[in-house]
C-alpha cells in the first residue's frame, strides 16, 4: 500500500447531524483515561450478570488475565433471553437470504426457541459444560443456532470455515478433542450444491488414528445425497427440530472457555486461540455499540463475513445479538446470480450499517460504479472495513460510491487474538483519514515502537515500527489451546521486559499522531483478509512427490491485498516440469488447505536464496515476486542464485 503526505492530510470530520445523535462522544476517551478499570466495569454493566463480579482485572498471572473475577453470566442469555423478557421477542433478529433466493426471518423469540431446542438435544447426547463441539457449516441460521446452543450449555465451540479441507478439519477436531461435529449435507456455491458432509466423513477416516467424535449432526440444506454412518450420524430435522423449545440458561464463570478458533501461525501448525466469556462479550458488545453506532430499534446491520472467522463470531453472533440487532445473514457469493446481488440485498432490507472487507470493495471497484449506481443505497448511514489495511483509493471509492460521499467509514484493526475491535475511528467523534486506522478505542492502549521498544516519534516516515498492546484488554485471548508455552513465545517474548503483547503488524504514526497499519511482519500472509502461513503452504507443496523444497511469500495483489507466490525446487526424479505440474501443485494446495490458499503464481527454480545458516531469505523472494530491485544479498551463501532463478 502506497500513501502520500496528501493521504495523511486528507481528513473527513463527522457531520454535525451524525455527531449529535452518535452513541459515542469524546468523553469516552476521557473517562477511560481517568479510570481504565472503572471504564471497563461500566461497559460490563451493559450485560446481564447472574452473579456480579467482585474484581475487574487480575493481571498477577500475566500474560494470562482474569477479567470480571467472581462474576457469572450466560452468554446466550445475554444474546437472546433478556431481549425477549424485556418485550422485544417479536423483533426480527435475523433476515436470512439464501443464495438460491430462499429467505427466512427469525424473531428473537423464535431464535430463542430454536437455540433452546438445540441445547436440550445436545444435553440428551450427553454433552456437558467444557466439552468441545466442532461446527463446520455455511452461512445459514442453524450455524448461529448451533453456536448459541453451545454457549448456552457452556460447551466450547470450535467453528471451522466450511471452505477448509478434510485434512484441516481433522487437524482442528483432533487438537480440540471434539465430541460432536455439526455440519450440513452441502452448501450452495454459485447456484450449485457442493457437498460438505463428505468432507467430514473424509476427515474422520483420514488415517488409522482414533478420533474423539461420537456423533455427526447434519442439517439438510441442499437435499443432495450424503453417505451415512448408522449410530453416529444424526439428522437435525429428526432430532433437534423435535426437542423442547424451552430451556433454562445456567450461569458460568466469567472465565469459562467460550470458544477455540484456529488461526495460522508461522510454524504452519494452526494455533487454537482460546476466548472466554465475560470479558469477550463485554468488549464485543461495547465495540459493536460504539464503533457501529448501532440503534436497536431502527438499524438494519449487515456484516458480510463468514462465521468461520473471528469477524463472524464477534460481529455477526455475539456483539450484535447482545445489542438486540436486526441483521442480514447472506449465504452466498457476492456475484451470484450477478454482480448486483449485494446491492440488491442492501436495497431490499434497507441496510443501514454495512461491514465488509477491502478485498470485496476492490472487487466492486473492478466491476465498476455503474452497478451500485443502479440501486437505491440511501438507507446506508455507516460503512465499515475489516480484515486488512484498506488502501486510500479503495477507502475513497467506498465512501463516494457506496456512501454517497457523506457516509462515515470505520476502518477497524483487530485480530483473532484480540477478540474484538481495538483500533478504529469513533463515528461522530473522529475526523477520519483514508487508509488510517486512527487511534485506539477508549479503554485500549497501544504503541508503535522500534526493535528495542522505544516509541516511534510522530511523522518519522523512515522509522516504521511495530504495533504493541501495552495494557491487557477484556476480550484478549487467554492462551493457545493445549500449548501455553507457544502462547508466551508467540505473543509475549519479543517485548518480555516491558510485558507487551506483540501484534505481528508493522505500523507508523503520521505527523498528527494517527496510526497507520502497514501489514504483517512475520511469515503469515493476508489473503483477502484470511491469514495463511507460508509454512502451511510450503508443507502442502512439498507433500507432492515432484517437489523437493518450496518457499512461499505474499506479494502485493490489487484485489486480494496479497497473493501467494511460490518458488519450488523439483526432485531429481521429477519428469513433468511444465504448466501441467504447476496446475497440479496449485490444486494440491487447494485440496490440502483451502481454495483461499491456492497460489497465484508458482515458479519452478533450480535453487533458493539461503543465508549461511540455511535460512531462506523470503524478503528477497518478495522483491522478485513484486518485480523490485533486490535488497541486500551480502548474507547469502551464493548471491548469484537470482541469476538461476531468473533463468528458471
pLDDT tens figures, 300-331 = 999 999 999 999 999 999 999 999 999 999 99
Q: Minimum mean pLDDT among 60-74, 193-207, 314-328, 600-614: which range?
A: 600-614
In a domain, 424, yes or no: no
As given in the structure block, the three cell numbers for residue 127 are 454433552
What pTM was estimated for this model as a whole? 0.86
Q: Say how many domains are in the chain.
A: 3
Q: What is the 3-state secondary structure (H, E, C) of 541-598?
A: HHCCCCEEEEEEEEEEECCCEEEEEEEEEECCCCCCCCHHHHHHHHHHHHHHCCHHHC
Cα dist from 336 to 350, 375, 491, whole Å: 20, 16, 40
Neighbours of 632 (CB within 10 A): 10
Cα dist from 487 to 268, 460, 501, whole Å: 15, 32, 11
How far apart (Å, rounded) are the C-alpha atoms in residues 168 and 163?
10
In a domain, 212, yes or no: yes
In a domain, 592, yes or no: yes
Complete edge-to-edge strand list for the sheet that includes strand 446-449: 446-449, 465-469, 501-509, 515-520
496 & 532 share domain: no
583 & 485 share domain: no
Q: For residue 506, what are the domain limits? A: 446-520
520-543 pLDDT, tens digit per residue, is 777 778 788 777 877 778 878 988
C-alpha torsion 171→552→589→521, nearest 10: 50
* Count of residues making up the chain: 648
292 & 346 share domain: yes
193 & 273 share domain: yes
515 & 534 share domain: no
In a domain, 11, yes or no: no
Q: In angstroms, what is the C-alpha Rg of the chain?
A: 24
Last residue of a domain, one of 489, 520, 551: 520
Hunting for cell 449435507 — which residue is that?
Answer: 185
Q: What's the pLDDT score for residue 519?
A: 76
Q: What's the pLDDT score for residue 627?
A: 79
Hunting for cell 456475484 — which residue is that?
Answer: 335
Q: What's the pLDDT score for residue 647?
A: 55
* pLDDT surpassing 70 at residue 139: yes
* pLDDT surpassing 80 at residue 106: yes
Give every CB contact of residue 594 below 8 A, 6+ residues apart in sequence: 161, 163, 164, 165, 168
481-517 pLDDT, tens digit per residue, is 999 999 999 999 999 999 999 998 888 899 889 999 8
How far apart (Å, rounded) are the C-alpha atoms in residues 263 and 501?
17
581-625 pLDDT, tens digit per residue, is 999 999 999 988 888 899 999 988 888 886 554 557 777 788 888
**Across residues 625-634, what is the average pLDDT?**
67
Are 499 and 536 spatial neighbours (Cβ–Cβ below 8 Å)?
no
454 & 566 share domain: no
Q: What's the pLDDT score for residue 461?
A: 52
Q: What's the pLDDT score for residue 643?
A: 65
Neighbours of 4 (CB within 10 A): 9
In a domain, 132, yes or no: yes
491 & 529 share domain: no
The H or E element containing residue 209 is none
**Across residues 457-480, what is the average pLDDT?**
85
Q: What is the CATH number of the domain that holds 503?
A: 2.30.38.10
Q: What's the pLDDT score for residue 637?
A: 52
In a domain, 418, yes or no: no
Q: What's the pLDDT score for residue 297?
A: 97
201 & 66 share domain: yes
* pLDDT surpassing 70 at residue 646: no
* pLDDT surpassing 90 at residue 102: yes
* pLDDT surpassing 80 at residue 332: yes
In a domain, 425, yes or no: no
In a domain, 21, yes or no: no
495 & 642 share domain: no
Q: What is the CATH number of the domain that holds 104?
A: 3.40.50.12780
447 three-class SS: strand
Last residue of a domain, one of 483, 504, 520: 520
- 547: nearest Cα among 523, 566, 534: 566
More confident: 2 or 602: 602
Share of the chain above pLDDT 70, in %: 92
136 & 265 share domain: yes
247 three-class SS: coil
CA angle (435, 39, 36) in 5-degree steps: 80
Which ranges constitute the DSSP H helices of 212-334? 278-291, 310-312, 319-322
* pLDDT surpassing 50 at residue 462: no
Q: What's the pLDDT score for residue 378?
A: 97
191 & 305 share domain: yes
How far apart (Å, rounded) are the C-alpha atoms in residues 425 and 433?
9
90 — pLDDT class (breaks 50, 70, 90): very high
Hunting for cell 453456536 — which residue is that?
Answer: 147
**Across residues 72-87, what is the average pLDDT?**
98
* pLDDT surpassing 70 at residue 267: no
6 — pLDDT class (breaks 50, 70, 90): very low
509 & 530 share domain: no
Last residue of a domain, one of 492, 520, 548: 520
Q: Minimum mean pLDDT among 56-70, 175-189, 515-529, 602-616: which range?
A: 602-616
Give every CB contact of residue 501 below 8 A, 6+ residues apart in sequence: 63, 468, 469, 470, 476, 491, 492
How far apart (Å, rounded) are the C-alpha atoms in residues 384 and 393?
15
Q: What's the pLDDT score for residue 7?
A: 46
How far apart (Å, rounded) are the C-alpha atoms in residues 79 and 76?
5
**Across residues 403-428, what is the average pLDDT?**
97
Are 379 and 407 spatial neighbours (Cβ–Cβ below 8 Å)?
no
User: Over the chain, what is the mean pLDDT?
Assistant: 91
Q: What is the CATH number of the domain that holds 550?
A: 3.30.300.30
- 288: nearest Cα among 320, 312, 317: 320
- 155: nearest Cα among 126, 117, 197: 126
Q: What's the pLDDT score for residue 624?
A: 83
**Across residues 615-642, what is the average pLDDT?**
68
How far apart (Å, rounded) are the C-alpha atoms in residues 361 and 401?
10
Amino acid at each position: 500500500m502506497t500513501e502520500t503526505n496528501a493521504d495523511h492530510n486528507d481528513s473527513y470530520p463527522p457531520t454535525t447531524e451524525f455527531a449529535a445523535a452518535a452513541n459515542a462522544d469524546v468523553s469516552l476517551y476521557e473517562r477511560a483515561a481517568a479510570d481504565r478499570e472503572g471504564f471497563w466495569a461500566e461497559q460490563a454493566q451493559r450485560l446481564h450478570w447472574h452473579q456480579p463480579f467482585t474484581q475487574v482485572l487480575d493481571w498477577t498471572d500475566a500474560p494470562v488475565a482474569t477479567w470480571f473475577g467472581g462474576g457469572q453470566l450466560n452468554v446466550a442469555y445475554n444474546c437472546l433471553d433478556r431481549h425477549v423478557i424485556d418485550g422485544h421477542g417479536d423483533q426480527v433478529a435475523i433476515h436470512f437470504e439464501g443464495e438460491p433466493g430462499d429467505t427466512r426471518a427469525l424473531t428473537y423469540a423464535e431464535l430463542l426457541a430454536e437455540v433452546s431446542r438445540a441445547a436440550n438435544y445436545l444435553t440428551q447426547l450427553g454433552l456437558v459444560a467444557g466439552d468441545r463441539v466442532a461446527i463446520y457449516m455455511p452461512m445459514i441460521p442453524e450455524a448461529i443456532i448451533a453456536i448459541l446452543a453451545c454457549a448456552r450449555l457452556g460447551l466450547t465451540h470450535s467453528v471451522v470455515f466450511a471452505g477448509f479441507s478434510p485434512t484441516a478439519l481433522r487437524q482442528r477436531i483432533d487438537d480440540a478433542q471434539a465430541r460432536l461435529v455439526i455440519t450440513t449435507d452441502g452448501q450452495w456455491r454459485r447456484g450449485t450444491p457442493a457437498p460438505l458432509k463428505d468432507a467430514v466423513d473424509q476427515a474422520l477416516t483420514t488415517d488409522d488414528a482414533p478420533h474423539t467424535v461420537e456423533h455427526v449432526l447434519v442439517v439438510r440444506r441442499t437435499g443432495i445425497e450424503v453417505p451415512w454412518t448408522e449410530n453416529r450420524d444424526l439428522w437435525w430435522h429428526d432430532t433437534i427440530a423435535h426437542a423442547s423449545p424451552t430451556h433454562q440458561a445456567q450461569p458460568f464463570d466469567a472465565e469459562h472457555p467460550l470458544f477455540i478458533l484456529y488461526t495460522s501461525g508461522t510454524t504452519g501448525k494452526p494455533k487454537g486461540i482460546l476466548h472466554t466469556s465475560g470479558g469477550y462479550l463485554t468488549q464485543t458488545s461495547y465495540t459493536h455499540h460504539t464503533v457501529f453506532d448501532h440503534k436497536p430499534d431502527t438499524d438494519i446491520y449487515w456484516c458480510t463475513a463468514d462465521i468461520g472467522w473471528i469477524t463472524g463470531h464477534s460481529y455477526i453472533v455475539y456483539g450484535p445479538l447482545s445489542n438486540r440487532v436486526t441483521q442480514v445473514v447472506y449465504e452466498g457469493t457476492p456475484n451470484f446470480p450477478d454482480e448486483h446481488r449485494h446491492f440488491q440485498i442492501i436495497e431490499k432490507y434497507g441496510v443501514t450499517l454495512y461491514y465488509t472487507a477491502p478485498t470485496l470493495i476492490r472487487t466492486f471497484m473492478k466491476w465498476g460504479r455503474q452497478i451500485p449506481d443502479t440501486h437505491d443505497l440511501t438507507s446506508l448511514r455507516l460503512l465499515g472495513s475489516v480484515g486488512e489495511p484498506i488502501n486510500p483509493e479503495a477507502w475513497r471509492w467506498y465512501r463516494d460510491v457506496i456512501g454517497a460521499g457523506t457516509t462515515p467509514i470505520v476502518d477497524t484493526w483487530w485480530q483473532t487474538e484480540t477478540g474484538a475491535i481495538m483500533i478504529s475511528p469513533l463515528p461522530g467523534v473522529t475526523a477520519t483519514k483514508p487508509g488510517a486506522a486512527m487511534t485506539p478505542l477508549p479503554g485500549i492502549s497501544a504503541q508503535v515502537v522500534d526493535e528495542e521498544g522505544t516509541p516511534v516519534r510522530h511523522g518519522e516516515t523512515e522509522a516504521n515500527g511495530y504495533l504493541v498492546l501495552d495494557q491487557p484488554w477484556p476480550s484478549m485471548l487467554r492462551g493457545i489451546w493445549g500449548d501455553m508455552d507457544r502462547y508466551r513465545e508467540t505473543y509475549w517474548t519479543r517485548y518480555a521486559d516491558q510485558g507487551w503483547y506483540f501484534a505481528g503488524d508493522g505500523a507508523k504514526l503520521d505527523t498528527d499522531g494517527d496510526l497507520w497499519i502497514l501489514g504483517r511482519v512475520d511469515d503469515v500472509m493476508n489473503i483477502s483478509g484470511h491469514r495463511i502461513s507460508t509454512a502451511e503452504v510450503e508443507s502442502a507443496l512439498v507433500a507432492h512427490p515432484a517437489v523437493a523444497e518450496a518457499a512461499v511469500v505474499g506479494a502485493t495483489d490489487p484485489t486480494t491485498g496479497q497473493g501467494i507466490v511460490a518458488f519450488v525446487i523439483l526432485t531429481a526424479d521429477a519428469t513433468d516440469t511444465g504448466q501441467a505440474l504447476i496446475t497440479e501443485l496449485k490444486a494440491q494446495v487447494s485440496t490440502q488447505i483451502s481454495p483461499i490458499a491456492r497460489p497465484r503464481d508458482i515458479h519452478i527454480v533450480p535453487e533458493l536464496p539461503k543465508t549461511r545458516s540455511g535460512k531462506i531469505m523470503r524478503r528477497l523472494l518478495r522483491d522478485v515476486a513484486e518485480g523490485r530491485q533486490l535488497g541486500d544479498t551480502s548474507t547469502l551463501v551464493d548471491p548469484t542464485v537470482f541469476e538461476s532463478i531468473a533463468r528458471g
